[in-house]
Amino acid sequence: MTPTLRVAVIGTGRMGADHVRRIRDVVSGARVTAVVDVDAQRAGAVAARVDGCAVHTDPAAAMASGDVDAVLVASPGPAHEEALLAAFAHGLPVLCEKPLTPDAASALRLVEAETALGRRLVQVGFMRRYDAEYTSLKALLDGGRLGRPLMLHHQHRNVSSAEFFTSEMLVTDSVAHEVDVTRWLLGQEITAVTVLRPASSALAPEGLIDPQFVVLETAGGALADVEIFVNCGFGYQVRAEAVCERGTARIGEGHALVTTAEGRWGGTVDQDWTERFAAAYDREVQAWVDATRRGEVTGPGIWDGYAAAAVCEAGVRSLREGGRVPVEQAERPAFYR
């Protein structure tokens, strides 16, 4: 392995700051040597928590500094393409938070750019693939004991949505996770999307279509549905159930601790993703660091990011226009097979 990996973290909002903390306190084999944000004051506050960490407002300047071996991109999605192309120009491996880019066209440009390099540089941050429950479900389905998977049922609930959240972002920023895990769990591409619009909750901000019910069709004939509800009011829940020919399997029930006292029984409900998926993020970043130090790229890649973008694009069209929308997806290059 190479010596300690020197990482530049691009974006110092909640996600980026949490990754800086993770690399500093949890992950082995790496250290943060630079942080980048258009808000220099915010970047400086994050950098102050790490010895020897430089502050930049331009990602390309950080990559050219000579003190960076790899890049973790946690900036907003519209900024990802430019950051990744800069990383390609410097030959730097990247862990890029999802979405890869906000639309399929820009994601496909990145597929083409990485293919032209002739080597993989990017891992995309679909962290559910590193969650212990999801990996157990994947192993069970791959083992075949329950027979062929026929249906997947997903639930994805948040306490509340951010002020900037739009109806389309329920698909592009939230259901994107279920799109990826459906492709991963089943080993099948998604071929069509239907987004249904139940009556919006009174807890949703005015004008936000919330909840939504999404149906995904796959190339292998399986169906997956997603209940996305980002203003449920009570907690953060992510659940999945696989219905197979000879049985079913569920994850995400959250029954780690149940108490009985004073005539009542119950447990707690996670309040956000930092609780539910903390260990998954830790495993994801550690796996990326270990693979990068070996000179490898593992985990979900640019093709997975593009495929999710293409499905979400069809989902947004279904949300706006109604009905079933086929997924328009380029042919998968041999490079990613």
C-alpha–C-alpha distance, residues 175 and 152, integer Å: 14
Shared domain for 320 and 204, answered yes or no, is yes
Residues 163 and 312 in one domain: yes
Whether cis (ω within 30° of 0) applies to the bond prior to 205 is no
Tokens for 192, please give them.
């069509």
Asked if residue 293 and residue 256 are part of one domain, the reply reads: no
Residues 319 and 189 in one domain: yes
Strand partners, 232: none
Residues 46 and 21 in one domain: yes
> In this structure, how many other beta carbons lie within 10 angstroms of the beta carbon of residue 259?
10
The pLDDT value recorded for residue 13 is 94
Are 123 and 145 members of one domain? no
Could you state, in chain order, the average pLDDT of each consecutive group of 10 residues for the chain (337 residues)? 91 96 97 97 96 96 95 95 97 97 96 96 97 95 96 97 94 96 98 98 96 98 98 94 95 71 76 84 98 95 98 98 97 92
Could you list the residue range(s) of the whole structural domain that residue 138 is in? Answer: 129-273+308-336
Provide the phi-psi class of 45: left if phi over 0, else alpha when psi is between -120 and 50, else beta: alpha
Per-residue burial over 76-86, b if 16 or more Cβ lie within 10 Å, else e, is ebebbbebbeb
Question: Is the domain of 16 the same as that of 118?
Answer: yes
Shared-domain flag, residues 246 and 326: yes
**Same domain for 32 and 176:** no
CATH of the domain at 34: 3.40.50.720
What's the CA gap between 326 and 27, in Å, rounded? 41
pLDDT at 11: 97
245 and 328 in a common domain? yes
Give yes or no: residues 120 and 87 share one domain: yes
Q: In total, how many domains does the chain have?
A: 2
